[in-house]
Amino acid sequence: MIDPTLESLKDDELEVICDVINECIQIDARQRPTMKALNQNENDGNLTDNTCAQLVERSLDSFLEYIEQRAQLDISGLFSPSWNTALENSLPWITGCRPSPYIRLTYALCGSQVEYQLSEIIQGLARGNLGQILATQLRMINNLHIKTIEEEEKLSSQLAGLQENIADQPIAMVAKRMSRVGESSGNVDHALDELESSMANILQEADKLRLSTLKELLAILTPLQGVDFLVASKKLHLCMHKWGKTRENRQLFCMYVTMHI
């Protein structure tokens, strides 16, 4: 059985995707390919524009599905998810990544790959990845960057206003008059329900901005460049989680040693 979204691919292109999938679902994690190995397929020319376009489309579909599913979860918990490390929870913007770093990452990849592939570029051995981005693409990306930052600032201002409401009527005054700290109050419950509803609306707008920025960026890039970007961004996300866990384990170890000296 073939996924309907892949029906337009040729047999050899489907074979490449199936090989990648089969490697990635190995039960033994040690036998799964690394991000570097997967990216090597692109460098070796094993991924055509058509294959890459399908992979980009599936990535966008997965992101949209993720957004829709988490919209059904408790909004307060999403602002500090328990599955994140402390490092990760110190960085998010409205429960996720700011869209503007997508573009900063693109710039960084362009610069590093031009430097890394300079000799090949001089020899005319272009790979078609972000090391060969065009000036027209960069202008479009810059315009997207400016627009995205403006939208981010609007949403940040709205969130700041909601946070300030905690120090206003009725929540702050009810807390001041309470004889017992944290006792139940109908007025406070109603105010907090409204606060969470407003936060959920801002989250939806932030997710829309994340998705639209990603779509526009990938539309500017070629399919090969899009895969290049998606691999790098996913690897960065996984590394941040791993680094956060490593730092937490190191801190716990230091605390244990200190307590037992």
pLDDT confidence of 26, banded at 50, 70, 90?
A: very low
Using CA atoms, how far residue 85 sits from 58, 70, 78, 79, in Å, is: 28, 19, 13, 13
Q: What is the pLDDT of residue 3?
A: 47
Residue-wise pLDDT tens digits, 158-216 = 999 988 888 877 778 877 887 778 777 788 888 888 888 999 999 999 999 999 999 99
CA separation for the pair 97, 102 (Å, rounded): 9
DSSP characters over 160-182: HHHHHGGGSTTHHHHHHH-SSTT
Q: What is the pLDDT of residue 1?
A: 43
Query: Which string of b and e fits 65-79 if b means at least 16 CB within 10 Å?
Result: eebeebeeeebeebe
Eight-state DSSP code of residue 53: H
Residue tagged 């690394």 (tokens): 34
Length reported for the chain: 261
Quick one: which of 54, 102, 252 has its CA closest to 110? Answer: 102
Find out whether 91 and 238 touch, Cβ atoms under 8 Å. Answer: no
Q: What is the pLDDT of residue 10?
A: 55
**Percent of the chain residues topping a pLDDT of 90:** 31
| Domain-wise residue ranges, the chain | 4-27+51-259
Residue tagged 């399919």 (tokens): 223
Q: At 259, which amino acid appears?
A: M
Q: State the alpha helices, DSSP H only, in the chain.
A: 11-24, 35-43, 49-70, 75-78, 86-89, 100-116, 118-122, 135-164, 171-177, 186-220, 223-259
Task: Identify the residue with better confidence: 188 or 125.
Answer: 188
Task: Identify the residue with better confidence: 169 or 13.
Answer: 169
How many alpha carbons lie under 13 Å from residue 227 in its C-beta half-sphere?
A: 25
Tokens of 27: 């039960």
Q: What is the pLDDT of residue 145?
A: 96
User: Is residue 146 pLDDT above 80, yes or no?
Assistant: yes
User: Is residue 15 pLDDT above 70, yes or no?
Assistant: no
Average pLDDT over residues 210-227: 94
Range among 15-24, 26-35, 142-151 rated most confident: 142-151
